[in-house]
Homo-oligomer: A and B are copies of this chain.
Amino acid sequence: MFSGNGRSGVADAEILAGELQLEAIEKPAERAYQGIRHAILSGALPGGSHLPEEALAQMTGTSRTPVREALRRLVAEGLARADNRHRYVADFSYQELKIVFNIRARLESYASRIAAELITEAEIAELERIVERIDEIGDTADPAQVRLFADLNTRFHTTIVGATRSIQMQSLSAQAISLPLELIKQFVWEQRVNIARSNNQHRDIVAALRARDPEWAESAMSGHILSTRPRRKAVSLS
């Protein structure tokens, strides 16, 4: 996944299945996608690893057909790259990560600007519920709690992006967000991203939306995302 790691083959199928409770996922397509994605993000498949379809099919307990679909999705999301023939795990440099975060800041701040005019009361209420639930978590390093925070955080951002009513915005944001949001889990853990501070920023954003103030919303979101950008040292993993 990240630069500077050695190469390795495909991870052991049983280990992966065990870690992920893959056996619980019914549909092969989803099974293949989640399985490969997890293997990449967890570092089981380091950056640059070759991704042969047959091996991945074995690994995820499906056949090549759903694996092919999964690989296409992953390439589209930027977690894998493809040359003429093969596919490999993407290899992110620090520079690349920085750019992705900046793009995300620009996209989501624009989304917030639009959302300030289009968001419904119900959606604002939803955002407030999310903020309250994050409050209950507080600062912690407990894995389960961190995962819960990551989920709520994702819902917060996708709710705002959804409020733009733009399919293209949702599609582009999803791509730009998927990687940063995964990384946040790592950062909260390793670097102690301040959950409380992050949630205070969430509160500001909700206030801006409630005030129907596009400039404020745009600015608040931009600051929020940029404040969670990784610092250099944090990007050695995994």
Verify if A72 is at the interface (C-beta below 8 Å from B).
yes
Q: Which of A84-110 contact B (CB under 8 A)?
A: 90, 95-96, 99-100, 102-103, 106-107, 110
Asked, given contacts A72-B69, A72-B72, A72-B73, whether A167 binds B107 with beta carbons under 8 Å apart, the answer is no
Q: Does A25 contact B (CB under 8 A)?
A: no
Q: Say yes or no: is A175 at the interface (Cβ < 8 Å to chain B).
A: yes
Which residue in B68, B73, B106, B176 is a CB contact (below 8 Å) of A168?
B176
Known contacts A78-B167, A90-B167, A171-B175; A102/B110 CB under 8 A: yes
The yes or no answer to A49 lying at the interface (CB within 8 A) is: no
Q: How far apart are A194's CB and chain B's nearest CB, in angstroms? A: 26
Q: Across the two chains, which residue of chain B brings its CB closest to A69?
A: B72
Which B residues touch A68, using CB under 8 A? 69
Whether B167 lies near A176 (C-beta < 8 A) is no
Question: Taking the complex as formed, is A153 at the interface, i.e. its CB lies under 8 A from any CB of chain B?
Answer: no
Complex alpha-carbon distance, A164 and B95, angstroms: 10
The answer to the question of A20 belonging to the interface, with a C-beta cut-off of 8 Å to chain B, is no
By size class, the interface of chain A is 20 to 34
Taken residue by residue from 6 to 21, chain A's Cβ proximity to chain B (1 for < 8 Å, 0 otherwise) reads as 0000000000000000
Is A99 in contact with B176, judged by CB distance below 8 angstroms?
A: no
A141 within 8 A of B: no
A96 contacts B171, C-beta separation under 8 Å: no
> Smallest distance from the beta carbon of A205 to chain B beta carbons, Å?
19
Are B76 and A171 in contact (CB-based, < 8 A)? yes
Q: Is A81 on the interface with B (CB-CB < 8 A)?
A: yes
Closest chain B CB from A164 CB (angstroms)? 7
Instruction: Return chain B residues, CB-CB under 8 Å to A81.
Output: 167
| Residues of chain B contacted by A179 (CB below 8 angstroms) | 168
Q: Give every chain B residue within 8 A of A176 (Cβ-Cβ).
A: 168, 172
15 contacts between A and B (CB under 8 A): A72-B73, A72-B76, A73-B76, A76-B171, A78-B171, A95-B165, A96-B167, A99-B169, A100-B166, A102-B110, A106-B107, A168-B179, A171-B175, A172-B175, A175-B175
A residues contacting B by CB (< 8 A) are: 68-69, 72-73, 76, 78, 81, 90, 95-96, 99-100, 102-103, 106-107, 110, 114, 164-169, 171-172, 175-176, 179
